[in-house]
A and B are shown apart, each in its own frame.
Chain A
Amino acid sequence: MALKLAEVRSLVRAALATRPVEIGCDDCLAQVAAFAERELAGLPISDASQLVEHHLGICSECREEYEALLAALRGAMQR
């Protein structure tokens, strides 16, 4: 299996960032709107939402969805 430098970097970064307890994509979806609201309100990350923050750092799909949600909520606030 031949990997490019960026791919190996991505692999080791993901492995090193792994925690014994993580939430999956469904749990992230259930909590991501509340996480986004806290971000928009300028509130610090709560203990409960640290698992969401970590998941968003690992899962590129959930991260992409979070950023689109944030953009939508920001747009809604400006109207």
Chain B
Amino acid sequence: MTRPRLTWVGTFSRMADLRRKMDSVAQVSDEDWLRLLRVPGEQAQAAHRELHALLVRGLRIGLAGRPSAEALIDDFAQEATLRVLAHLDEFRGDSSFVNWALAIAVRVALSELRRARWHDVSLDALTSDLRAEVTLHVPTKEAPTPERAAARAQILAALGQVMFSDLTARQRQLIAAELRGMPQEEIAAQMGTNRNALYKLGHDARLKLQRGLERLGLSADQVMWAFDE
């Protein structure tokens, strides 16, 4: 299906309308933000404070419903403000400056909250059961039909083959930890790397798993059917 294409005029008009609504929150142009934040002095300090206040306000709304975040929002905004200042040159103008800064603040906040929940969990302990096969734990009452059981066995064998022959030990550990819910920030910290590098490691692992599934000659629907409830 061809996606509908808007003319530049239509696109510009609707984006401008959105920005005007946002401007009621931040009545400073992107160019002014960048200028004010870059030049040292009283104006820059005032801009830092204003940006910090906007990030606090945005985080309060974006993180509503997360009680563990409430007492930390000011700290998150402080750290995010420093990070934004250190990366001003990376702002490309695709979005409004304040929204770009808020995206950074949300990452700072949620990364910290995830790590706080998982920092006592050892990656090695969590993935200590990586033996040379992949098995499926299914309660007896949910036993599949013979056809589905056969398909599951075939797919699990293929996954096991890739996991223990094609993936590196780090990729195996990453996949297992992700499946058990450990956030990437924590996996990265315990592996001594960063979230972006970890994503690339996982991407390479998923490509290998995909090729392993393709070698079975099953369609994506057939593979998913095998693991339906």
Contact = CB atoms under 8 A, between A and B. Distances in A.
Given A33-B95, A65-B110, A69-B103, A41 B138 contact: no
A16 B213 contact: yes
A18 B136 contact: no
Contacts of B96: 33, 37
Interface in A25-67: 25-26, 29-34, 36-38, 40-45, 59, 61, 64-65
- Looking at chain B's contact residues, is the secondary structure mostly helix, strand, loop, or mixed? helix
Contact of B227 (A5, A64, A74): A5
Interface residues of A, number: 50
Contacts of A7: 179-180
- Looking at chain A's contact residues, is the secondary structure mostly helix, strand, loop, or mixed? helix
Interface string B52-71: 00000111011110000000
B224 A29 contact: no
Nearest to B130: A1
A12 B179 contact: no
A19 B176 CA distance: 21
Nearest to B135: A2
Contacts of A34: 94-95
B93 to A, nearest CB: 9
Interface of A: 1-5, 7-16, 18, 20, 22, 24-26, 29-34, 36-38, 40-45, 59, 61, 64-65, 68-69, 71-77, 79
Given A9-B224, A14-B206, A68-B62, 5 more contacts: A2-B136, A20-B207, A24-B203, A77-B18, A79-B24
